[in-house]
Amino acid sequence: MQDLRAMTLEQTCEFAEAQGWPKFRGEQIWRWIHAHGARTFDEMTNLGAATKARLAEVATIGCLTVAEVQTSKDGTRKLRLLTRDGASIETVLIPSGHKTTQCISSQVGCAVDCQFCATAKLGLKRNLDAGEIVDQVYLARKLLAETEPDRQLTNLVYMGMGEPLHNYDNLVTSLRILTHDKGAGLSARRITVSTSGLVPKLEKLGGETVRPNLAVSLNAPNDAIRDEIMPINRKWNISKLLAALKAYPLEQRRRITFEYVLLAGVNDSLADAAQLAKLLRGIKCKVNIIPYNPHPEAPYARPSAAAVDAFQNECKKLGMSTYLRIPRGDDIDAACGQLANRANGSPLVPLRVRKGPPPAPNVE
């Protein structure tokens, strides 16, 4: 059976015509799912009984279910969601003034194996399909409507579980669905896709008609450090990554965001800051400094507040546009790098704790 939630408007219209219906019927169905949030065919009140019966025979609306909602002392909420095959993923809602940012997942687990990230220790189970990606957004909107009707979802970041560019086709389909003006109608300017640096897919993303903001998880000022903490660097090193980013077609007033997780004694010295400034010179960018969020599966520590301030001040002195990302939701394992499907402090899926240097991940 075809999952209508995972289909673009064009695909849904083609589906309708294949059933012998007029093209506008496909648009009706699509708008019910993506504009009105319908989760069953019975909710589609302007469709006849025969049409609904046929839909039930040949199609489905893929739905995630909410297994758990945790609320942080700072107002951040983490939703643990179950897929139809019983897999568990997480998405996070982060309020900030009148804005609300949702951090969504693109995979069950992750194959990239960044050493400071809890998700990496789950390994990769599978990709999420486009319907599973967009339904995270619809469930978040539903939760806000029920609990905080005056608060709207304003920003979307693909920074949850998984490497978005490793799930390229479903990523792009989800972007087309979420930004369509007959559906959710989100602005591409308020959507950010984060990547650890899959160079061939970066080049491909630059050619898409829907281009989100781009964030790159850099986390090191040189290959020696990045090789150690991000094995993907052994396949596409910093030089290859920066070459792809310099060629990436940025729209006016857009900048590439470099994410830099500060690990005490690893990449947080003033010399590291100086090397980072030299590395990024000439690139239209900003740097998000992220103090490491601890979890039991990694041996690192968060730098002291003084060390964080010193690093950021050095970056500013050297001309970099830098922002400090204050940890949000770290008391419920919802902060950057902490998503690991935990319930009551314990992971639902056993985490891998690797001894010795990790191999370069096999990602395309």
Which residues are catalytic, by number?
90, 336
CB 222 within 8 A of CB 187: no
The H-or-E segment that residue 95 falls in is: strand 88-96
Rounded distance between C-alpha atoms, residue 111 and residue 162, angstroms: 7
Three-state DSSP at 290 gives strand
Rounded distance between C-alpha atoms, residue 106 and residue 126, angstroms: 9
Question: Which pair of tokens denotes residue 70?
Answer: 């945790």
* Cβ-Cβ contacts under 8 Å for 287 (sequence gap 6 or more): 257, 258, 259, 260, 276, 280, 315, 320, 321, 322, 323
Question: What residues are paired with 81 via a beta bridge?
Answer: 66, 89
CB 9 within 8 A of CB 27: yes
